[in-house]
Chain A
Amino acid sequence: MNFAPFLRAFALALLLCIGAVAAVLAYAGADFPAPHFSRSASFNEKARWLRGALAEGPRRDGRCEVLVAGSSMALNSVDGSLLAAGGERVINLSSFGVTPEDTVEMLRIVLPLCRPKTILMAAYQGDFRQWQEQKDIAWDRVRSYLTGGSDMRAHLADFDPWYLVERSLAASELHRTDTYMSLAFDRTGGARLDCTTAYRMEKRWNADLLETVTPARPEALAAMGEIARMARAAGARLVIAVPPLRPRAERNFYPAERDALWRAVSAAIAPAGGTLVRPAGNAGFTDAEFADYAHLNRCGAARWTRLVRSDMERTGR
């Protein structure tokens, strides 16, 4: 019996598949995906960006005046260049779906590398909601990577060809700002979305009609308290800023429940000197300044960042 055709076909097909993966990865070139630290591509890419930013900035000259932290709210809705107007160095740590618990872990890694004067956290009610997607972040590996571990080692520690191919095929997200999935980080690490309506998705635009507001997870509130304590221990001022919602949502989207949630957050951070800011100007935003019901686009982000900055300067705490 001749088994050679089977063995040859098996080997050849397998080599072709592996070759196809190698070709896709080679094609990705400079857009080769970040190491696989978690299920969140946004988090992984941000870790890679941070590694570069920390290596070229604070660790070299010890400067890092403002850390921006949080979820997509901080990623999309904060214009870091406006915070850096006085020459401050701004580093945006945020990525999609980051919870307060994740921010605690991230700050544990970053604060020893970078001593900020201010930690600005842009947050919305979704960051505290009951159900959060499991990201399975390998914090030990993130720590080792951000403190100088090699890129190659980080890739080999959790080699996932599926992920690498998937991300290589989605590499345009690293450059495009006309998609909700944008990971086109600016100089400060923010990813601001275009001021057009072309990429708007109905479901996200009207999500205020579908979602609810639930009381904050106790774990998330505890994490907020911990963030405040960490900021104080690092000699930094903690400001939690709440961006506006679309005008309709700002008026109708469970306002009482949101007020209660922010009171709880404020109470959690106050003992360690943290401040919660809900700029009075939040009510004045128009639909044209939003990418969806909660995320500001580039135009909205610029106006809101100025509002927050002026609030911070006014209060001076």
Chain B
Amino acid sequence: MLFNSYEFLFVFLPVVLIAFFAVARFSQAGARVFLALASLFFYGWWDWRYVGLLLLSIIVNFALGGAISRAEGRARSRLLLAGLGFNLGLLGFFKYTNFFLGTVTEVTGHDFGMAQIVLPLGISFFSFTQIAFLIDVYRRIAVEFNLTNYVLFVTYFPHLIAGPVLHHKEMMPQFAAPEMGRARAEDFAVGTALFTIGLAKKVLIADNFALFASPLFGGAESGAEPALIAAWAGALAYTMQIYFDFSGYSDMAIGLSRMFGVRLPVNFASPYKSTSIIDFWRRWHMTLSRFLRDYLYIPLGGNKLGERRRQVNLMATMVLGGLWHGANWTFVVWGTLHGLYLTINHAWRKHRGSAPGTAASRAGSWALTFLAIVVAWVFFRAASFAGALAVLRGMAGANGVVLPEKLGHIAGGIAAHLPLRITFSSDIMFNYFSVTHGLGLGDPKRFFALLGIGAVLLAMPSSQELLARYRPVLEMREPEKRGLQLTGRAGIAAGIALALLFFACLANLNHKSEFLYFQF
């Protein structure tokens, strides 16, 4: 079930909210059981067959967690290794079997065929959540073992499919708190506001950018060579799409959870405002970065074993982080690129120090960071190296530049003397490609208008900052006196504005599309 669907918004969510608070009036434990069952129903809506797999994973991990907590000495390590092996084995089988077979086929030339395996929804997320649990038990950080709460911790529907990646220690106290199940107007108001903002990011912004990104990458995959403007339009469209899609999903997840009175960790903090790649990874998919840092980078030695070892650890973390996103070498390249960026960024910082620069240097840093991110997204989005390289060649101008026909009269003479191959046409957006493939980027005016809207939204405060006075996420310890006000007269205006935004989303829901991170 998608958050952006009529069945979720008008049936599942209201029924679960009402029933949860109704059951909680009589029994808090009963409410938690109900929420866990509702979450399993939510998961099973996609494919019931995989509910069994999810439950198996939960039971095995819970049992292993209990066993680790009771064991001493080397038995603890052996049990932890067994748990890691179980989770990584499950993930490896479902997610990487065909990747492995494909790679072996490529290398040996012998066709090993492909296995008929369907990737269970959210497996990357629930595997990582439970790996973190086992390690936390091993480190004696996770100490609470209540099966109902554990099932709810893993299956909790706001985060189950695409995160945020949760820590046992930040959720269990909330599930066990006496306020759990007590309906509060503040939770419902803040949750509604965040959910609406997230829904708008997804439905009104991300899905519209997708209309420009998909044809470009689809075309490049089919052998077309996009010219400069079309290539940049497609790459920028994807850059915007993935941010608004995933951060929109995260806002919705955080908002939904808040309606139930449970705070989730922040996942995005205006990542495209970053002025360095180090900064970017502190703002992008923060719960995954936190996981990779705590359970991979630091165990590998982090930065404690010298500069050279830090670089190796960074590269290993980012390459594996890339592979986690998808079973394709393009994701490995994406991770490797970010590993390289981070290594260079650390070296540069060491060389130059971290003194604040001038406004111009900050602007330059921002532009360079953004450019590096966009280039890396090309590999992330493309289905193959050939497709990615075709887009990058286009972005570099190697496929020429198609400028609007009107400019031909003015700049036609100059163009002939430039090193770039410049042509003038009414089709600057790759629409010619629709001739053979039924694809095209469409109206350039619409694209630039959308890009403008996207840029303005990126410059604005993040959704968490907008609602900072209500501590929408876990990390905010103290409420801040800024952003949207949901109380008093200002609350009425905010309520009307958000209702109109929500309605605009409803009216566009029929073009519903899955969230990009569902595939990871």
Contacts and interface: CB of A to CB of B under 8 A. Distances in A.
Nearest to A36: B510
Contacts of A10: 189, 192, 495-496, 498-499, 502
A3 B467 CA distance: 13
Interface string A145-181: 0000000000000111111010000000000000000
List the 8 closest A-B pairs by CB distance, nearest first: A9-B495, A13-B499, A6-B491, A160-B510, A10-B495, A3-B185, A3-B189, A17-B503
A14 B503 contact: yes
Interface stretch (A46-54, A128-136, A275-283, A304-312): A128-136
Contacts of A160: 507, 510
14 contacts: A3-B186, A3-B188, A3-B486, A3-B491, A6-B491, A8-B492, A9-B492, A9-B499, A10-B495, A12-B499, A14-B502, A17-B500, A159-B510, A162-B510
A8 B491 CA distance: 10
Interface stretch (B25-33, B326-334, B430-438): B430-438
B45 interface: no
B487 interface: yes
B506 interface: yes
Contacts of B481: none
B353 interface: no
Contact of B508 (A6, A18, A162): A162
B510 A134 contact: no
Contacts of B508: 162
Nearest to B502: A14
B488 A161 contact: no
Contacts of B507: 21, 160-162, 165
Given A3-B189, A6-B486, A9-B499, A217 B491 contact: no
Nearest to A2: B487
Interface in B134-183: none
B448 interface: no
Contact of A5 (B432, B440, B489): B489
A6 B494 contact: yes
Main secondary structure of the interface of B (DSSP, over half): helix
Given A9-B499, A131-B435, A165-B507, 15 more contacts: A2-B185, A5-B487, A5-B488, A5-B492, A9-B493, A9-B495, A10-B495, A11-B499, A13-B495, A14-B502, A14-B503, A17-B500, A36-B510, A134-B438, A161-B506
A5 B492 CA distance: 6
Contacts of A217: 435
B46 interface: no
Nearest to B438: A134
Contacts of A17: 499-500, 503
A105 to B, nearest CB: 14
A198 interface: no
A9 B185 CA distance: 13
A48 to B, nearest CB: 18
A131 B434 contact: yes
Contacts of B435: 130-131, 217
Nearest to A21: B507
Interface in B418-462: 431-432, 434-435, 438, 440
A30 interface: no
A256 interface: no
Interface of B: 6, 185-186, 188-189, 192-193, 431-432, 434-435, 438, 440, 486-489, 491-496, 498-500, 502-503, 506-508, 510
Given A158-B510, A160-B510, A7 B6 contact: no
Nearest to A134: B438
Given A1-B487, A4-B185, A6-B491, A159 B496 contact: no
The range of chain A's interface size is 20 to 34
Contacts of A3: 185-186, 188-189, 486-487, 491
Contacts of B502: 10, 14
A141 B499 CA distance: 32
B211 to A, nearest CB: 10
Contacts of B193: 6
A17 B489 CA distance: 21
A7 B188 contact: yes
Interface of A: 1-14, 17-18, 21, 36, 130-132, 134, 158-163, 165, 217
Contacts of A21: 507
Contacts of A2: 185, 487-488, 491
B314 to A, nearest CB: 44
A110 to B, nearest CB: 23
A16 to B, nearest CB: 8
A158 B188 CA distance: 30
Contacts of A9: 491-496, 499
Contacts of B189: 3, 6-7, 10
Nearest to B442: A134
A11 B185 CA distance: 13
A75 B193 CA distance: 48
Contact of B6 (A1, A12, A14, A159): A159
A47 to B, nearest CB: 17
A8 B494 CA distance: 11
B495 A7 contact: yes
Nearest to A219: B436
A44 to B, nearest CB: 13
A18 B504 CA distance: 11
Nearest to B186: A3
Contacts of B186: 1, 3
A159 B434 CA distance: 28
A8 to B, nearest CB: 7
A245 B204 CA distance: 42
A288 to B, nearest CB: 33
A151 B84 CA distance: 53
B495 A6 contact: yes
A163 B502 CA distance: 17
A203 to B, nearest CB: 15
A165 B506 CA distance: 13
A131 B506 contact: no
Contacts of B434: 130-132
Q: Which of A10, A11, A132, A158 has the most CB of B within 10 A?
A: A10
Contacts of B506: 18, 161
B503 A6 contact: no
Nearest to A166: B507
Contacts of A159: 6, 510
